[in-house]
Amino acid sequence: MEVRTIRSLRPNVTREEAIQTFTASGPASLFWKLRSGPLQRIADAYIPFRIYRVRFPMSGAQRTHLFALDAVDGSLDLFEFAAPPGDAETVSVFTRNNPASTLSEARSEELLRDKVLRVIFQQGFFKLRRIKLETEQLPGEIHLPYWLGFYGTPEDLRCRVLDAVRRRIEGAKVSALFEQWLAIQSVQKVEKLPDGVELTAGKAKVRVTVFREGLFRVRVAPAGTFPKDSSWAVIEAPEPGAIKIDDAKDEVRVTSGTTVARIKKSPLLIDFLRDVGDVLVADDSDLPMAWENGRVRVWKKMPADEGYYGLGDKAGPMNRRDRSFTMWNTDAFGWRESTDPLYKTIPFFIGLRKGLAYGIFFDNTWRSSFDFGKEGHDFYSFGAEGGEINYYFFGGPTPGKIVQDFSALVGRTKLPPLWTLGFQQSRYSYEPEERVYEVAKTLRDKKIPADAIYLDIDYQDGNAPFTVDRKKFPTFEKMISDLRAQGFHTVLITDLHIKKNPDHGYAPYDTGVKDDVFLKRADGTTYVGPVWPGDSVFGDFTLSRAREWWGGLYKNFVDMGVAGFWNDMNEPAIFLTSTKTMPPDVRHRLDDGTTLPHLAIHNVFGMENVRATSEGLLKLRPNERPFVLTRAAYAGTQRYAATWTGDNVAVWNHLGMSTPMLLSMGISGYGMVGDDIGGFAGTPTADLLTRWIEAGAFNPIYRDHTAKGTGDQEPWVHGAKHEAIRRHFIEERYRLLPYIYTSVEEMTRTGIPLMRPLLLEYPQSPEFFNDDSEFMFGHDLFVSPVTTELQDMKVIQLPPGAWYDYWTGEKSSDQELKKLKPALDEVPVYVRAGAIVPRQPLVQNTGETPNGPLGLRVYPGPDCKGSLYQDDGHTLAYEKGEFLRVSYSCQVGADAIRIVSTIEKDSYKPWWSAAEITVFGIGKAPKSVRVGDATIHEWRFDSAQHAVVFTLPEAKNSWTAELIL
Ligand code: MIG
């Protein structure tokens, strides 16, 4: 029999129905009976709680699994004993709401139950007065296919087990809780606005307006009054352009460009369509928009073939379908696939079917949630615990256009300093001073290129931000300038918590008190919370003057020549409290004199913190590009800071998870992103660190970082063989910098990230939509990092078109299936036929002038082109037009290949004047090589690489070269 998932939020189910469905649900003698809290008002809720022994046929191992019904979203969740009960074992919990790390050990089933209960209830979803737990060991033994025991990430495992269980449980019919949602009613009145329509439905008003062509906005005021319009994310002003409104009896249509909003009147339902008729997304007629007690929610139909991509740093597969997520910025040490929420809130996603794409940005900063099919199979939903129904709809039509439009709406990454694209070395913590010098020297002695060294919290005096521990760092200023002289940029951590340290001449505290910029509670007292320095106070970052105060704190470090700053813990993370953050009665002040509760500001607090840092640095060094690294973010934070994915773990699975997470960040507008190379928690094995350094060479931010107490993790730690491989990939990164920097500059103008999921480049090829392990690095490189220690065959399906092997130059045929066993020193990388890739001679850091010609690798193919952007790499002179831009193209004829270089802008003098050109895919030596009108003789044919190589001594002006075949 079928396990019915629940429309728990469906407005029209009665309490009686609910209870009935539940009691009819088969062998439900195991349950938790929940009463009280928000649930008691509605219905008694039962959570079936069942234990199964699962046998894995291949190993013969038995495991005990426990399935529970999650009363929040009505899903089945799996709790797994990793070893048979009785032993000292690990318990893994795969559920939506439980940070798995809180359940790391349990010795018996009793303990497990106890812990599960505690964890679920600690999440604050239920406030229980009484829990009744009845248990019975079910005799059932489920046989699951062998792969469950061996392959697959926990998230995979979870999905598959759930599937298996859904198919096997007899008579189980589950249903859960119903809240009294008030659904929107029928439209009584339609008013035309200059940019759209305002609809009256009962007491509620709904505005459907056009923001930009093909970009709509929906706002709902349940009681009929729209609050003041404001957003932390949106930076564009509306420019609706031409719109068309058709008000018919049953529906109103608002058309902008080729996108139509169709509002059905009874009840009010909003659909978005292409003007040719394709429905992009439609409200579910059983589930109109609704609200309850301050909460708001929107449901949409979920076609069987639609996937959902985006949502920022959510873990697990890029396609969010069949999962649900919470947005509540959280310090999530040692997160895994199932951990949610994580550090960031980017409430934006793309819905994608073959040939049809749209985007939705739910601009609501409260704790919000997105459910893509856990609640029901044919609808999805999003909503928040407070605030407005306020979402933007992007009509696309392509995923690329949606990413462009979304990133324009919330702001794009600013051009970063070039050094931040180099290799960065970090750990928690390099101390004392001698160790920092030693790490820097070793990198240089071993000729491992690097640009940055990070100092984590231990350089500070008692962990108080903006101080220096002079015992460990007696000549701190000299160290910074010595490092600088060796080509290292120093990045200092400066967390947002200010030590509560009155009467000690601690300026950050004293000036903050004097300026009244610290956060207060509802009763007017300053909020004090324990973090690294002990009792701490916090800037009220939603106030301009608090941001200015904070920005000014950087003066001393900036004067010392510190290059960049790292704002950690800004979720905000608070110790010794079960919520891990500030209490809800903290009041955030706004410039207009009003305040907002923490629940409304929590998710943007980190963003306003790094905004203060970035704006402060710009003020202190007006002609330098700031570099700030943040952990927490809301949509749009890329305007102020780069980011990383927080505290990952030094295990293979995390290396695998890094790709879909970084890709998801990229399509969520956040392109300057990396993860802790090698893993933060734990110590990587030699092979793992090597593979991670290989993969990281093709990530936007390339930073090796690890936790306190772990083994050393610098590239040289595992002996000569590993060191050589790692050096090789770091060197390749540096050789590719002209291509990388050009792609990053493109990202600042278009929002298209450096690291791109295949769906962005191939939206007509659904077979690539869910590719979580491969990606495009820039427009032309296809990268397939090795993220497993298994020696299995790696099968790579190349995307449409012909490709060249990046390492050997060998050309593959169209749509070739590659079957490879990459050795430890190999990463499959392919170049699109039709690419021209600029490169440079090796340097040890980006401050070093490359010695030699610009490299141009030409890969003949259709639509053959490339470009190069260069500037001084660190000032804002580029904003005044001081840059070089060159575009390249090639035409492939039957008996000639022509390569053209066109200078588009030459207001910056690059380091090169010569260019070395390598043309791949040439079967035999050409008859001649011509540059302009002249035939040249200095060229060579590389028969192994099927390439012709020649140098243009003067390549700074536009030129044309031709291979006569
Ligand atoms: O609670 O500053 O994610 O990168 O090394 C730990 C010490 C605080 C967490 C960050 C990590 C950093 C560490 N921090």
Distance CA 92, CA 106 (A): 10
Q: How far is CA 452 from CA 564, 565, 703, 738, 938, in A?
A: 9, 11, 9, 19, 40
- Ligand 1 pocket test, pick from 313, 335, 430, 456 with the greatest ligand atom count within 8 Å of Cβ, gives 456
- How does DSSP classify residue 89? B
| pLDDT, tens only, 196-227 | 999 999 999 999 999 999 999 999 999 999 99
pLDDT, residue 110, reads 44
More confident residue, 872 or 793: 872
Q: Which residues contact residue 163 at a Cβ distance below 8 angstroms, ignoring those fewer than 6 apart? A: none
The tens digit of pLDDT for each residue in 248-278 reads 999 999 999 999 999 999 999 999 999 898 9
Q: How far apart are CA 853 and CA 511, in angstroms?
A: 53
Half-sphere exposure of 290 (CA within 13 A, CB side): 18
In sequence order, which residues have a C-beta less than 8 Å from that of residue 238 and are 6 or more positions away?
195, 209, 210, 211, 212, 217
Distance CA 97, CA 296 (A): 20
Mean local confidence (pLDDT), 777-783: 98
Mean pLDDT of the region 172-180: 32
Look at residue 232 and tell me whether its pLDDT is greater than 70.
Answer: yes
Helix and strand numbers (H, E) in the chain are 17, 62
Ligand 1 centre distance from Cα of residue 28 (Å): 45
- The residues facing 55 across adjacent strands are 62, 143
Q: What is the pLDDT of residue 324?
A: 86
Query: Mind listing the pLDDT tens digit for each residue in 824-876?
Result: 999 999 999 999 999 999 999 999 999 999 999 999 999 999 999 999 999 99
Which neighbouring-strand residues pair with 807? none
Helix (H, G, I), strand (E, B) or coil at 179: coil
Report residue 393 CA to chain centroid gap: 20
Q: Are 867 and 889 in contact (CB under 8 A)?
A: no
Instruction: Give the pLDDT band of residue 80 (cuts 50, 70, 90).
Output: very low
Answer yes or no: is pLDDT of 577 > 50. yes
For residue range 393-435, what is the model confidence (pLDDT) as tens digits?
A: 999 999 999 999 999 999 999 999 999 999 999 999 999 999 9
Q: Which residue has the higher pLDDT, 118 or 621?
A: 621
Query: Is residue 54 over pLDDT 70?
Result: no
Higher pLDDT, 20 or 704: 704
| Of 560, 732, 747, 552, the residue nearest 639 (C-alpha) | 747
HSE at residue 77, side-chain half, CA atoms within 13 A, is: 25
Report pLDDT digits (tens) over 906-923: 999 999 999 999 999 999
Catalytic residues: 568, 571, 647
Provide mean pLDDT across the span 456-485: 98
User: Which pLDDT band holds residue 180 (cuts at 50, 70, 90)?
Assistant: low
β-sheet bridge partners, residue 663: none
Distance CA 698, CA 702 (A): 8
Atom of ligand 1 nearest to the CA of 680: 4
Gap from CA of 568 to ligand 1 centroid (Å): 7
Q: How many whole angstroms from 806 Cα to the centroid of ligand 1? A: 36
Greatest extent of the chain over all pairs of C-alpha atoms, in Å: 90
**Residue 135: pLDDT above 80?**
no
User: Measuring from each residue's beta carbon to the nearest atom of ligand 1, which residues come in under 6 Å?
Assistant: 428, 456-457, 493, 568-569, 631, 646-647, 680, 705
Q: How far is the CA of 921 from the centre of ligand 1 (A)?
A: 48
Please state the rounded mean pLDDT for residues 353-370.
Answer: 95
On the question of pLDDT at 491 being above 90, the answer is: yes
Amino acid at residue number 825: D
Q: What is the rounded distance in angstroms from the CA atom of residue 322 to the CA atom of residue 155?
A: 11
Closest atom of ligand 1 to CA, residue 429? 5
Distance 847 CA to ligand 1 centre (A): 29
What gap in Å lies between CA 938 and CA 929, rounded to an integer? 9
Overall residue count recorded for the chain in this entry: 965
Q: Which long-range contacts (CB under 8 A, 24 or more apart) does 591-596 make?
A: 591/542, 591/543, 591/544, 596/542
Residue nearest to atom 1 of ligand 1 (CA): 569
Please report which helix (H) or strand (E) contains residue 668, including its range: none
CA separation for the pair 121, 131 (Å, rounded): 10
390 close to 415: Cβ distance less than 8 angstroms: no
Distance separating the N- and C-terminal Cα atoms of the chain = 69
Q: Atom 12 of ligand 1 has which residue's CA nearest to it?
A: 428
Ligand 1 atom closest to Cα of 426?
5
pLDDT at 274: 95
Type of residue found at 723? E
pLDDT for position 77: 43
CB atoms within 10 A of CB 585: 13
Mean pLDDT of the chain: 84
Give the pairing type, strands 130-134 and 91-94: unpaired
For ligand 1, atom 6, name the residue with the nearest CA. Answer: 569
Tell me the mean pLDDT in the region 10-19: 36
Residue that the structure tokens 């007017």 belong to? 524
Ligand 1: which atom is nearest the Cα of residue 427? 5
Phi–psi pair at 538, nearest 5 degrees? -135, 140
Distance 325 CA to ligand 1 centre (A): 24
What contacts 48, CB < 8 A, 6 or more positions away?
Answer: 25, 28, 30, 31, 67, 68, 69, 172, 174
Residue type, 184: I
Q: What is the 3-state secondary structure (H, E, C) of 541-564?
A: CCCHHHHHHHHHCCHHHHHHCCCE
Does residue 20 carry a pLDDT above 80? no
Residue of 570, 647, 675, 706 to mutate, ligand 1, most atoms within 8 A of C-beta: 647
Contacts of 156 (CB under 8 A, 6+ apart): none
Higher pLDDT, 575 or 702: 702
Q: 172 or 885: which carries more pLDDT confidence? A: 885
Q: Is 62 left (phi over 0), alpha (psi -120 to 50) or beta?
A: beta
In the DSSP assignment, the letter for residue 152 is S
Nearest to 607 by CA among 562, 547, 661: 547
Least confidently predicted of 491-500, 576-585, 721-730, 780-789: 576-585
Q: Which of 339, 428, 491, 631 to mutate to test the pocket of ligand 1 (most atoms within 8 A of CB)?
A: 428
For the CA of 568, the nearest atom of ligand 1: 10
Ligand 1 closest atom vs CA 428: 5
- Distance CA(286)–CA(765), nearest Å, equals 33
Quote the tokens at residue 247. Answer: 């008000």
Ligand 1 centroid to 423 CA: how many Å? Answer: 19
pLDDT at 725: 98
In the structure encoding, which two tokens stand for residue 502, read together? 């009155």
458-483 average pLDDT score: 98
Q: Kindly report the number of other CB atoms within 10 A of residue 896's CB atom.
A: 15
The dihedral region occupied by 264, where left means phi > 0, alpha psi between -120 and 50, and beta the remainder, is beta
Of 566, 568, 643, 701, the residue with max ligand 1 atoms within 8 A of its CB, to mutate for a pocket test, comes to: 568
More confident residue, 128 or 24: 24
Whose CA is closest to 607, among 294, 235, 339, 295?
235
**Backbone Cα Rg of the chain:** 29
Amino acid, res. 289:
M
Atom 5 in ligand 1: residue holding the nearest Cα: 428
- From 520, 489, 309, 500, select the one nearest 394 (Cα to Cα): 309
375 pLDDT tier (thresholds 50, 70, 90): low
Pick left, alpha or beta for residue 961 (phi over 0 → left; psi -120 to 50 → alpha; otherwise beta): beta
- Above pLDDT 90, what percent of the chain? 76
Q: How far is CA 183 from CA 52, 191, 199, 221, 291, in A?
A: 40, 21, 15, 13, 7
Residue 146 has pLDDT above 90, yes or no: no
- The predicted-structure confidence for 679-696, as pLDDT tens digits, reads as follows 999 999 999 999 999 999
Structure confidence at residue 790 as a pLDDT band (50, 70, 90): confident
CA dist 315 and 325 (Å) reads 10
Amino acid at 181: W
Residue 901: is it exposed, middle or buried by C-beta count within 10 angstroms (0-12/13-18/19+)? buried
Asked if 952 and 915 count as a contact pair (C-beta separation under 8 A), the reply is yes
pLDDT for 338 beyond 90 = no
606 CA → ligand 1 middle, Å: 15
The pTM for the full model equals 0.84
293: confidence class by pLDDT, cuts 50, 70, 90: confident
Q: Is the dihedral of CA 899, 900, 901, 904 positive or negative?
A: negative
